[in-house]
Chains A and B, each alone.
Chain A
Amino acid sequence: MRNVFAVARKDVLIEWRARLLLVRVLPFALLVLVLFAVALDSEALLTRAAAGLVWLAAMFATLLVVQRCFDIETADGALDMLLTSVVEPSRVFFGKVLAVAAQLLVLVVVLLGGAVVLYGVRIDAAGLVLLVTTVVTAVIGLASVGTLYGAVVAQLTGRDSLLPLLAMPVLAPLLIGASRATESAFGSQTIDLATGWAWTSLLAVFGVVFAAAGAASFATLTEPDA
């Protein structure tokens, strides 16, 4: 676990110093929310679509965070250093998932705040518990899938455009699940809390499957000149 936390701490520290989340990702994600509000221009419609819009913005932002997460390894050949170190590749994977998840957690909390302000959504106590659980499980899922596909394209040219092409179809089920569960937490008329919890359980399974797949395949995916 020491190496997992060392990799995660290093990535978060680099992000904190570079301020990418603060100056690029957060403004981008909030802009997406604002633009949806302007485009839809209907409070009733926005309230209903709020959950989906939040997670859509989070999904786009995930791609930026993941790209950055691997850019720092390839910029000065640090990946070679990591590969020729004693640390197990699966621990590098989990460290990166942890760092990406921490950044996404901040991002989603801000986006949810934005949804409350811009779209006028309301959350009661029962919904809040579901919302917190949904956010945590969905963020772990986003981070696991993102990191897995980030590793796939890390050493390829044109990775900036390849990552969305490869990752977004896989992220689609997660987007649906997180949106439905969040909609339920927001007090939707069409999805009750029990159904919301069912979607959250599905998100948890999704996260576990991709975290396990990422840990198992990270060594192969980062194998140099294979």
Chain B
Amino acid sequence: MPVGSSGSVIHLRDAVVAPAGFPALAGATLDVGAGELVALRGANGAGKTTLLRLCAGLAPLARGAASVLGVDLAGNRATVRRSVGFVGHRNGLYGELTARENIAFVATLVGATHDEVEVVLDGFGLVGRLADTRASALSAGQRRRTALASLAIRRARLWLLDEPHAALDVDSRQQLDRVFREATASGVTVVYTTHERYTDSQRMPRTITLDAGRVVHDHA
């Protein structure tokens, strides 16, 4: 896995992102290593989504230093974008295409096979009639699972997910956590924002808390 000279998949030092002049990320410093599972927590407006978008190369770095997968974000956001998997608040699906077609489209772009599409569909419980239902007709949770399945087929080494548990029922949340554990076990780094409360300490990922655009707590 490509990592920076620091050995980190994500390396931020006093990173500032200021869309429309407002510093949504106001000097964040953190390192995330290969194969880590990291939950970003914080109140609304704390900078979680901005941090994810920065790491995905979707938001420009205003000040500070930042590299992702060894690529400097100040100089080459486009390269970073092509190396990460990102699912934002919105699912990035085409409503007129079925769940299978949405995933197959991404699979074609990345050169994944038809068999891999079927494996991913199965892994996210998108089987039978569900797989051939248009995304616009799926429930919010089913659309979320389709978006995450599209991400999984990309074989990205860094997953960046904005509230992936939102709209999922209990079974789907557990299924998603299982997917995360399997992904990180294979070396993929997963960073996601969440408002979930973990009661089982063994399941709890590294948790980074943000407030007013800064990292205020890092619990490994």
**Are A78 and B85 interface neighbours, CB within 8 A?**
no
**Are B59 and A87 interface neighbours, CB within 8 A?**
no
**B185 interfacial contact with A, CB 8 Å:** no
Known: A76-B90, A84-B86, A85-B106. A14 touches B59 (CB 8 A): no
Interface residues of B in 130-181 (CB under 8 A from A): 134-135, 150, 154
Distance (whole angstroms) from the CB of A93 to the closest CB of chain B: 14
**Are A13 and B96 interface neighbours, CB within 8 A?**
yes
Which of B39-47, B76-84, B116-124, B194-202 lies at the interface? B76-84
Cross-interface CB contact of A77 among B19, B78, B92, B110, cutoff 8 Å:
B92
Interface residues of B in 5-61 (CB under 8 A from A): 19, 53, 56-60
**Are A86 and B82 interface neighbours, CB within 8 A?**
yes
**A75 interfacial contact with B, CB 8 Å:** yes
**A39 interfacial contact with B, CB 8 Å:** no
Chain A residues near B86 (CB-CB < 8 A)? 80-81, 84
How many residues of chain A get a CB closer than 8 Å to chain B's CBs?
Answer: 25
Chain A residues near B109 (CB-CB < 8 A)? 3, 6, 85-87
Chain A residues near B81 (CB-CB < 8 A)? 83-84
A24 to B96 alpha-carbon distance, docked (Å): 17
**Are B92 and A76 interface neighbours, CB within 8 A?**
yes
**A224 interfacial contact with B, CB 8 Å:** yes
**Are B97 and A14 interface neighbours, CB within 8 A?**
yes
Chain A residues near B190 (CB-CB < 8 A)? none
The contact string, 1 if C-beta is below 8 Å from chain B, for chain A 55-67, is 0000000000000
Chain B residues near A223 (CB-CB < 8 A)? 77-78
**Are B60 and A225 interface neighbours, CB within 8 A?**
yes
A52 to B113 alpha-carbon distance, docked (Å): 48
A72 to B97 alpha-carbon distance, docked (Å): 11
Cross-interface CB contact of A78 among B19, B92, B108, cutoff 8 Å:
B92
Cross-interface CB contact of A18 among B87, B88, B91, B96, cutoff 8 Å:
B96
A-B contact pairs, 6 of them (CB 8 A): A6-B105, A17-B96, A76-B91, A77-B89, A80-B90, A85-B82
